[in-house]
Structure 1
Amino acid sequence: MPTLSVVVPCYFNEDNIPVTVQELIANEVRFPPEVAFEYIFVDDGSRDHTLQALLTAQAQYPDRIRVVELVGNVGSYNAIVAGMEQATGDCMAIITADMQDPPELMVQMYSHWQQGFKLVIGNRQDRQETGWTKRTAELFHWLMKHLALRNIPDGGFDFVFFDRQVRDDIVRMQERNSNIFYLMVWLGYSYVNIPYVRRKREIGKSRWTLQKKLKLFIDSLLSFSFFPIRVISVIGLLLGFAALLFGVYVIGLRIFAPQGPAGWTTLMVVVLFVSAFQMIALGIIGEYVWRGMDAARNRPLYVVKKVYETTTE
């Protein structure tokens, strides 16, 4: 009898939890009767009543729900790894607590897993959000597809269904400052892509701030692409060639027009431009160096405060 483990990261989701739990439980009837379920909810250092809401849900479904309480906020991706490490299922799914992703899609994902696919991706063909949120998300995934991982589906994704073998690979790697969903694709397993329309959030307010989005973009780009370093090299070569031409021009001017203008303004523009490029280049190199140092320290991705276990009769 296969067991499906559903990992749900939670951060300031106290109002979502009752609805999320009921939708997940109601979704079980769509699966074959031989499938068993466990739900691992990870409280990522929420400072509202998310933990209390999770414990209430666990009291209601003690045979299915496990609650993992982290000491502090470590980010949703690290929280997901914490949940994956606690999961015991033969296959697993990751879904957000705001229910913007349709849980009924997991039934189709499960059927693909039964056919032998280690990874099934639900990608956002479109989203009901509008304005700035939608545009920035589309830009992020377009850049990642063209600059880092060309084999990721269009539109982005964070709703996945995968085999325990993929779980073991991810947990063993303990990747820092990365994108766990792109990491699953990077592993190289053949995957099935199921497009869907992401719902508009109905309950609560998203904590996915612009600062977090920028960090995710930098982490994802630097984790899977050498593009920034290659850009530095190309610009450096172009600047070197331009400097050579300018040097020839200055020497020629000195020889053939010794009384010509000193060119102080031009010189200052060149110095400021090159200095700015050097600072940007050092910043990009510093990002890579810092990530290497962070990995070398080998600190844990998260610290579990307590695991509220499920019970079986």
Structure 2
Amino acid sequence: MPKLSVIVPCYFNEDNIPVTVPELIKNEALFPAGVEFEYIFVDDGSQDQTLAALLHARNQYPDRIKVVELVGNVGSYNAIVAGMEQATGDCLAIITADMQDPPELMVKMYDYWTKGFKLVIGNRQDREETGLSKTLAQTFHWLMKHLALRNIPDGGFDFVFFDRQVRDDIVRMKERNSNIFYLMVWLGYEYVNIPYVRRKREIGKSRWTLQKKVKLLIDSLLSFSYFPIRAISVTGIVLGTIALLYGLYVIGLKILAPEGPEGWTALMVVVLFVSAFQMIALGVIGEYVWRGMDAARNRPLYVVKTVYPSEAGPKY
């Protein structure tokens, strides 16, 4: 029977761990007999008692749980890659530590995997959250679907089940400043998606700040779409055409009515508008340049401080 590695990135989840671990262990009973389980919890530089809670859980289930402690906070996507590199399973799953995604859905995902699908996506058909958070999430995924990857499912996703071959591809690429879940779709493997309603967070406070959401949007768009740079080109052409027409108008006005108004106000509006566009264009180009420089430096995505292996696994 195959081995399933479940990767759980953790950041300030000390209150979630005592609930999450028993839920995952209980979920094993829904799988066919003989499936082997491995849980890889990655502490992404938490400053609370998350690591202590993870080590306590490891002591309770020493044959299943592996804890990876990173030196500092590198973001959930890089933490997931760290978990992938430690995974030894034939298939893998990624789930959040706050249990907003239903672990029982993994059973159906596993069934699709046994039928030959390399990638199975749990996409959020709806979410129990309300207000600005829900609106921002819906806007983000709408932009990505219409400007970058048209073959991603509606509603967004970060709950996936995939084959070890997909894991090997992702780890080998070591993509930085990107979106690891969209990268799985970009690889081109045939996938199946399972819609579900994401639960409202019941324990703890989300650390997914507005700043991180904006960075993720920028990273995702620049990684999978040429839209920003092409938008600059199109806008430049439009502004150039307007400037040419306005220039012809000014010349004609000077010839036909030498004593006419000088048009200082209109000129200042044009100058300010074009200057603002130039600054925005430089900012977008700078984002691309910075990402190229970051890739050229080839610094590690993360630094592992300690790996606490499961007793059934290899020692580090």
Q: TM-score, structure 1 length as denominator?
A: 0.99
Once residues 3 and 18 of structure 1 are traced to their aligned partners in structure 2, the CA distance between those partners, rounded to angstroms, is 24
SS at match of 1:194: strand
Match of 1:45 in 2: 45
Paired residues, what number?
A: 313
Alignment-mate amino acid for residue 305 of structure 1: K
Once residues 246 and 262 of structure 2 are traced to their aligned partners in structure 1, the CA distance between those partners, rounded to angstroms, is 14
Match of 2:289 in 1: 289
Once residues 200 and 235 of structure 2 are traced to their aligned partners in structure 1, the CA distance between those partners, rounded to angstroms, is 42
1:37-60: CA deviations, max 9, x gaps?
A: 000000000000000000000000
Match of 1:228 in 2: 228
Match of 1:188 in 2: 188
Structure 1 unaligned regions, length at least 5: none
Alignment-mate amino acid for residue 38 of structure 2: E
1:41-84: CA deviations, max 9, x gaps?
A: 00000000000000000000000000000000000000000000
SS at match of 1:40: strand
SS at match of 1:189: coil
4+ residue segments displaced more than 4 Å: none
Using the TM superposition, give the Cα deviation of residue 242 of structure 1 relative to its aligned residue in structure 2, in angstroms: 0.4
Alignment-mate amino acid for residue 8 of structure 1: V
The residue correspondences of 1:69-80 to structure 2 (distance < 5 A) are: 69-80=69-80
Once residues 136 and 254 of structure 1 are traced to their aligned partners in structure 2, the CA distance between those partners, rounded to angstroms, is 50
Once residues 273 and 15 of structure 2 are traced to their aligned partners in structure 1, the CA distance between those partners, rounded to angstroms, is 51
Match of 1:108 in 2: 108
Match of 1:8 in 2: 8
Q: Are 2:133 and 1:133 aligned?
A: yes
Match of 2:20 in 1: 20
Q: Are 2:146 and 1:149 aligned?
A: no
Alignment-mate amino acid for residue 241 of structure 1: T
Alignment-mate amino acid for residue 191 of structure 1: Y
Identity of aligned residues (%): 83
For the aligned residues, what is the CA RMSD? 0.7
Match of 2:217 in 1: 217
Q: TM-score, structure 2 length as denominator?
A: 0.98
SS at match of 2:146: helix
Match of 1:265 in 2: 265
SS at match of 1:247: helix
Match of 1:247 in 2: 247
SS at match of 1:20: helix
1:135-171: CA deviations, max 9, x gaps?
A: 1100100010000000000000000000000000000
Once residues 109 and 312 of structure 1 are traced to their aligned partners in structure 2, the CA distance between those partners, rounded to angstroms, is 25
Structure 2 unaligned regions, length at least 5: none
Using the TM superposition, give the Cα deviation of residue 312 of structure 1 relative to its aligned residue in structure 2, in angstroms: 2.4
Match of 1:163 in 2: 163
Alignment-mate amino acid for residue 139 of structure 2: L
1:8-51: CA deviations, max 9, x gaps?
A: 00000000001000000000000011100000000000000000
Alignment-mate amino acid for residue 228 of structure 2: P
